[in-house]
Each structure stands twice: as C-alpha cells, then as structure tokens.
Amino acid sequence: MDNDAQAAPLLGIDIGGSGIKGALVRAQTGELLTERYRLETPQPSTPDAVARTVAKIVRFFDYQGTVGCTFPAIVKGGVTLSAANVDKGWVGLDADALLTEATGCEVHLLNDADAAGRAEVTFGAGKDRAGVVIVLTLGTGIGSALFLDGTLVPNTEFGHLFLAGGQEAEAWASDRARKDEDLHWKKWGGRLDAYLKHLEFIFSPDLFILGGGVSKKSDKFMEFLDLKTPVVPAALRNEAGIVGAALWAAHAE
C-alpha cells in the first residue's frame, strides 16, 4: 500500500437504537474529517429498512471505499447473532452481505462496544495501557469490550450478566434504567458500583473505561463508585463508535 492509499479517509458508520451516524475518518489518527451525518434509525429497525438508511449515508458522502459499521449486537464473521434492542430479523443474518449489496461498497460490521473500545484503546482513555482493560458503554443497553494488552476479546456481552438478586445488569444499571426509573445519581451510581464490583471480582482488570452518552456526565456519578480498579470516562465520547468502525474498515482492507 503506498502512502496516498494509506491516508485515504474511511467511512465509519455507527448504527444505534435511535440514530445512524456516519463520518469520514483518518484511521491512522482517529480524526474525523467531516461533520457527522445522522439519520433516524427506522422503526421497526428491520434489516432492509436499516440497510436503506446506511445506503443513504454512503451516498451522502459519495463514498466508494470499504465501510466499517457498528451494530448493537453480537457480530461474528459479519453475521449478526443477537438482537437485544433491535428488530429480531437481524438474528442469524449475513449483515455484511446485506449492507454490501445495499450500498455497493464492501461493508464490514462489528459490535458497537467493541468498536468504541477499539477506538478508546487506540486513541483515547486506554491508549498505551497494558494489562486487562474493560470498556463499558452505558446507554440503552450496556455494551462491553475486553482487552488484554490492547488485543480485543470480541463479543463479550457483559451487559447480559445476571447479578445477585437475579437482575440482568443491562436492565438494572444502564442509562436507560436510570432514565426509565427516574433514579437519582446516587442511586444509579450505587447500582453501577455493584455491577463494576462484580466485574472487578471476576476479571481483576487494570482499568475500567466508561463510555456511552452518560460518560459526559461522569462528574455526577463517579463519586459513588468505590472500586480498587481505576475508573475513567471514555475520551472520545460520541465519536468512539464511528472511529472504531473506521478502524475496522482499515483492518479489513
């Protein structure tokens, strides 16, 4: 690959429960080269409807290269294998093939938290951090990414752990739970603390990175976390998914 080809911007697309966002990214630096272009996620979020929306984003950028795309579910070899917060039609679907066909570009999907984690470990709060790093995205669901010395163990799904008391972590400690149950910060912070303590006991991590929209408000809940492991907010905030998607496209090229 020559230097010009290496510098070619890559399109990263972040498929979320409410919005689908894309931007051109310089994968070597993690820098966004354009504004983010956002369209509403179609409801219901069926594969065909989402594929049409992704194709509109690709057309908006008049883009022709490899596309990296996040998805809020287990993704293995381009096949989506779960659908906790999206239309069940995605389960068992060759999503890489569907989106490649819909866009006319080669598209590669990866789990949304794995994408955000890759971005954080490459450019953000986990850069140059050795050992076991756990990145959690706290949003509608809870996404997770587990790294050992910068290498990802994909599709960990720690949001679906069951905690003492029988509650699923995602239903109990996600940002959606905070909003739906109208929990004050101390109460929600206490839940997050209990969940992180469980992860701490199981994995003995060296660092927790907390991402997702609520990480912008970390000053409201960090004081309620009482862990032996360092906990830091994500550095890339709402760009992490797009940047991680572009890294995935670069990896596939």
Q: Does 121 bind ligand BGC (CB under 6 A)?
A: no
Helices (H) and strands (E) in the chain, counts: 9, 14
- Segment near ligand BGC (CB under 6 A), from 2-10, 28-36, 81-89, 242-250? 81-89
Quick one: which of 13, 15, 69, 84 contacts ligand BGC (CB under 6 A)? 84
Residue 132 β-bridge partners? 148
Measured distance CA(75)–CA(233) in Å, rounded: 25
Q: Considering only residues 10 through 29, tell me which ones interact with ligand BGC, judged by CB under 6 A.
A: none
Measured distance CA(209)–CA(47) in Å, rounded: 31
Q: Considering only residues 139 through 168, tell me which ones interact with ligand BGC, judged by CB under 6 A.
A: 141, 143, 157, 159
- Segment near ligand BGC (CB under 6 A), from 97-105, 107-115, 180-188, 239-247? 107-115
Cβ-in-10-Å burial (0-12, 13-18, 19+) of 174 comes to buried
Residue 24 vs 82, nearer CB to ligand BGC: 82
Shortest Cβ 246–ligand BGC spacing (Å):
18
Residue 102 vs 145, nearer CB to ligand BGC: 145
- In order, the DSSP letters of 96-147 are HHHHHHHHSS-EEEEEHHHHHHHHHHHHSTTTT--SEEEEEEESSSEEEEEE
Cβ-in-10-Å burial (0-12, 13-18, 19+) of 182 comes to exposed
- Segment near ligand BGC (CB under 6 A), from 70-78, 90-98, 119-127, 195-203? 70-78
Residue 45 vs 137, nearer CB to ligand BGC: 137
Amino acid at 59: R
In the complex, the residues that contact ligand BGC under the rule CB under 6 A are 72-74, 82, 84-85, 111-113, 137, 141, 143, 157, 159, 170
